[in-house]
Amino acid sequence: MSKLANLRLRRGELVARQGAFQQVLAPLGPVRVHLFGSRVRPEAMGGDIDLLIRLRGDTPETPLTALTRRLRMAIFFRLEEQKIDIVWDAPGDTSAFLPMAREGAAEIWASEKRN
């Protein structure tokens, strides 16, 4: 996992996103949010915000598409509109993309307790 010091995000952006994660994701139980892609590579230029959301409990009752919309809106209300890609990593998911997203990802928020 990459170190937080190497992230290409300003501190205020990170704090604002963490507030959105708390609002939308904390009720889901054990969740970890990782930044991946160009924003964890200091030498990279530009790039959207790539988030990997790792669920460790039961699959949520709310569809992931609805949770994605809620999270994007919560971030939008805290920051200006940005291109954000959200990838969900749920127990039992066998997507071939997940190992690539996990590699080099940096954890930026965690909620280990069910609210």
Q: Is residue 19 part of a domain?
A: yes
Q: Is residue 115 part of a domain?
A: no
pTM of the model: 0.85
Q: Is residue 114 part of a domain?
A: no
Q: Which residues constitute the domain of residue 68?
A: 4-109
Question: For 6, phi and psi rounded to 5 degrees?
Answer: -90, -5
Q: What is the pLDDT of residue 3?
A: 54
Q: What is the pLDDT of residue 115?
A: 42
C-alpha span between 62 and 65 (Å, rounded):
8
Q: Which residues contact 76 (CB under 8 A, 6 or more apart)?
A: none
The dihedral of CA 57, 112, 96, 75: what is its sign?
A: positive
Give the CA count within 13 Å in the CB-facing half-sphere of 104: 12
Q: What is the pLDDT of residue 114?
A: 43
Q: Is residue 61 part of a domain?
A: yes
Domain count, the chain: 1
Q: What is the pLDDT of residue 1?
A: 43
Output the tens digit of pLDDT for each of the chain's 115 residues. 445 556 767 777 778 888 999 999 999 989 999 999 888 887 777 778 899 999 987 778 889 999 999 999 999 888 877 789 999 999 888 999 999 999 989 999 999 654 4
The dihedral of CA 21, 25, 30, 33: what is its sign?
A: negative
Q: What is the pLDDT of residue 2?
A: 41
Q: Is residue 80 part of a domain?
A: yes
Q: Is residue 20 part of a domain?
A: yes
C-alpha span between 49 and 65 (Å, rounded):
17
